[in-house]
Structure formats: C-alpha cells, structure tokens
Chains A and B, each alone.
Chain A
Amino acid sequence: GAVVSQHPSWVICKSGTSVKIECRSLDFQATTMFWYRQFPKQSLMLMATSNEGSKATYEQGVEKDKFLINHASLTLSTLTVTSAHPEDSSFYICSARGGGGTEAFFGQGTRLTVV
C-alpha cells in the first residue's frame, strides 16, 4: 500500500508556543489530505480537509486560526497548532488520498503534549 509519513511521532511543548506537524506522501501524489484528532479510546474526529494549492476546509467547531493547515505541494501538508494550551494535547493523525483513489492512507500519528 501507499506510504504516508508523519513527523514528529511525539512532541512536548510549553503552553503558548506553536508546534508544526508534517505529513508526507512518500510514493504517491496526495491530491487531498485530511487531519484528524483522536482522544483516548475515542474515534477519529475530522478536523479539516485540504486540497493541494487551495485553502483547507475546516469542520464545524475547529478553529482555523488555531490549527493552521498548509498543503503547498502534492506530497506535503503541515498542521501548525498555534499558541498551544494543555487542552490541545491529543493524538493528531493525517491521511492522504491520491487522485482517483478511494482509499485513504494514514500517517503514524503525532502525540502532542502541552505542558
């Protein structure tokens, strides 16, 4: 299957700082990338959908000024958590889908802890 690499796999940051998470499709061009958040023992909650070269579409209740998404190329999308607070601590996962494909392939996830 296609490979999606997410980096870093874990990060600890101080409250008030910003953190950037990268999501790369290694062996295919990802026309669409999705960012999810997952709380312990809960399902994945879609935060936003991004298409290469255009602005991300955010789900209701997700602050776009807080969770900045950039999908500048067909192989890279980034999620920046700005002015992070402890309540932003969570598991963030990206997924990518190639043009014409219906399966979405997931990154390994990033465990963010804000202290």
Chain B
Amino acid sequence: SQKIEQNSEALNIQEGKTATLTCNYTNYSPAYLQWYRQDPGRGPVFLLLIRENEKEKRKERLKVTFDTTLKQSLFHITASQPADSATYLCALTSGTYKYIFGTGTRLKVLA
C-alpha cells in the first residue's frame, strides 16, 4: 500500500540553525510533492510545490529537494526562528490530483 513517512515526529533545533525535515514514500509515483505548515487548531498553509522532474525549489529561507530515485524529499528552513515552530506536512499528488499526506513533523525552534 502507499505509504508516506516523515521520519521525525518531533524535532527541536536552536534558533539560527538550519532545520531539515525528511519525507519518504513507498509504492507511489507522485507527479508533485508539496510541503505545508500547520499550526495547532488551524488548517495547513501551502509553502512549496516541487514537480517530479525538478530537483530543487527555493523560496526565501525555504528549500525543498526531490529525489525520485531515493523516493525522498528534504525540506530545509535556514536561519530558523521561533516563529517557524509548527507542524510541517508533506503531501504527494499523482495525476488524479488526490493528495496523500504524511503524518507530519513537529518542529520547535528554541530561542
């Protein structure tokens, strides 16, 4: 069956450091991979989308990589700030546009 794993349920990092979150998937061939931020009691907020033929995408302090051979995406937040503390979700989409979400990683940036 299709499976998406975000290998850290929780990640603590010191302010100013780079946070790296991992998303691995099996039994799936996504056309797109997306990262979302979710704060407690709120809906997810779209951050970045990367296509299967793209290796890397950047937006301000965010960087996403996508390795379809390893079936893995890495999500980086550089110069992390306490305001970056949230749960980060990866989501995969195939041609049907059905989104399958990972379980999320709770990031806490310590001041």
A residues with a Cβ closer than 8 A to B are 1, 4, 6, 32, 34, 42-44, 46, 49, 91, 93-95, 97, 102-109, 111
Contact = CB atoms under 8 A, between A and B. Distances in A.
Given A44-B89, A102-B32, A107 B98 contact: no
Contact of B99 (A1, A46, A94): A46
A44 B34 CA distance: 14
Given A32-B97, A43-B89, A103-B49, A108 B103 contact: no
Interface string B97-111: 111111110000000
> Chain B's interface: helix, strand, loop or mixed, by majority?
strand
A34 B101 CA distance: 13
User: What secondary structure prevails in chain A residues at the interface with B?
Assistant: strand
B46 A106 contact: yes
A105 B37 CA distance: 12
Contacts of A102: 32, 49, 93, 97
Contact of A105 (B46, B98, B103): B46
A108 B98 contact: no
A106 B97 contact: no
30 contacts: A1-B46, A4-B43, A43-B89, A43-B101, A43-B102, A43-B103, A44-B44, A44-B89, A44-B101, A46-B98, A91-B41, A93-B43, A94-B43, A95-B44, A95-B99, A97-B97, A103-B34, A103-B46, A103-B49, A104-B34, A104-B91, A104-B99, A105-B46, A106-B43, A106-B46, A107-B43, A108-B42, A108-B43, A109-B43, A111-B41
Contacts of A108: 42-43
Nearest to A32: B97
Contacts of A42: 103
B99 A34 contact: yes
A97 B34 CA distance: 14
